[in-house]
Amino acid sequence: MIPEDEARYSRQMKLACIGEEGQQKILDSNALVIGMGGLGSPSALYLAAAGIGKLTICDFDVVETSNLQRQVIHRQDSVGELKVNSARKTLQSLNPDCQVEAIDHELDDEELRQQISAANIVLDCCDNFQTRFAVNRACVDAKTPLVSAAAIRLEGQIISYIPDSDGPCYQCLYSDDYENAQTCEVEGVLGPVVGVMGTLQALNALLILTGNTEQLVGKLMLFDGLNMQWQQVQLPRNPVCPVCSAN
């Protein structure tokens, strides 16, 4: 590790769960972040700040004025610009050593599988169930760990899929035809709530990349930001899950 990195990452390298070995793993890792909105913003910022070697960011939307209240990676002067280009600028100004690959189109099945196989960790920061299920399935097939989160109104949830554990995958929580029409556009969402969940995604990703996975297996965390309450649910694997039990 070069002396600049030792200084830059000294505070987190002091932690027993990270250390120099863990920091090197972070520096050598590629994180795929799907969605550069309210969850993807803090996720990508904290991973870049922590020294992740490569961020592959994926989004095909442009920045709109109504995004700026919660999507803190984007700036006023980025309105109208592709989110991945806007995000890349901010990430590179934060940490020029982080390599950022920007994907500005919707990934088809084959591309999604390729990107997930090439990643050390996947962060699902998207806003629809169809994508969530496709990402989960590809992660289970490739045995790539996945951190899934969602937020709406003042509520959030997060769960991680840990390959080679007896824990559940994302699909274990929902039936295959599950559809939820609720959107932040209709229901509303408060910026710091989605910020909390995206920040937790980055935390889970750093723990997983450094081998601190045991405490994450099957742990669904639910956040109620209005009443300032956390609920923790320990979920088993669904024995008839169409995705992870078929393997």
Q: Which residues are catalytic?
A: 184
Q: How many residues bind Zn ion (CB under 5 A)?
A: 6
Query: Using CA atoms, how far apart are residues 136 and 243, in angstroms rounded to an integer?
Result: 8
Q: For 221, phi and psi rounded to 5 degrees?
A: -110, 130
Q: Give me the least distance between CB of 46 and Zn ion, in Å please.
A: 27
Is 169 a binding residue for Zn ion by CB under 5 A? The answer is yes
Q: Give me the least distance between CB of 173 and Zn ion, in Å please.
A: 8
Compute, in degrees rounded to 10, the torsion defined by CA atoms 107, 109, 112, 114: -130
Q: Which stretch binds Zn ion (CB under 5 A): 33-41, 167-175, 199-207, 217-225?
A: 167-175
Is 135 a binding residue for Zn ion by CB under 5 A? The answer is no
Q: Give me the least distance between CB of 37 and Zn ion, in Å please.
A: 25
Choosing from 126, 207, 216, 244, the residue that interacts with Zn ion (CB under 5 A) is 244
Is 138 a binding residue for Zn ion by CB under 5 A? The answer is no
Cβ closest to Zn ion, residue 148 vs residue 204: 148
Choosing from 120, 144, 171, 201, the residue that interacts with Zn ion (CB under 5 A) is 171
Cβ closest to Zn ion, residue 202 vs residue 221: 221
Query: Using CA atoms, how far apart are residues 113 and 138, in angstroms rounded to an integer?
Result: 6
- CA–CA distance from 9 to each of 5, 6, 24, 45 (Å)? 6, 6, 10, 15
Q: Give me the least distance between CB of 243 and Zn ion, in Å please.
A: 5
Q: Where are the alpha helices (DSSP H) in 120-234?
A: 129-142, 184-187, 191-209
Q: For 182, phi and psi rounded to 5 degrees?
A: -70, 130
Cβ closest to Zn ion, residue 82 vs residue 147: 147
Question: Position 28: which residue type?
Answer: D
**Cα-only R_g, the chain:** 17
Choosing from 18, 112, 206, 241, the residue that interacts with Zn ion (CB under 5 A) is 241
Q: For 236, phi and psi rounded to 5 degrees?
A: -85, 170
Binding region for Zn ion (CB under 5 A): 169, 171-172, 241, 243-244
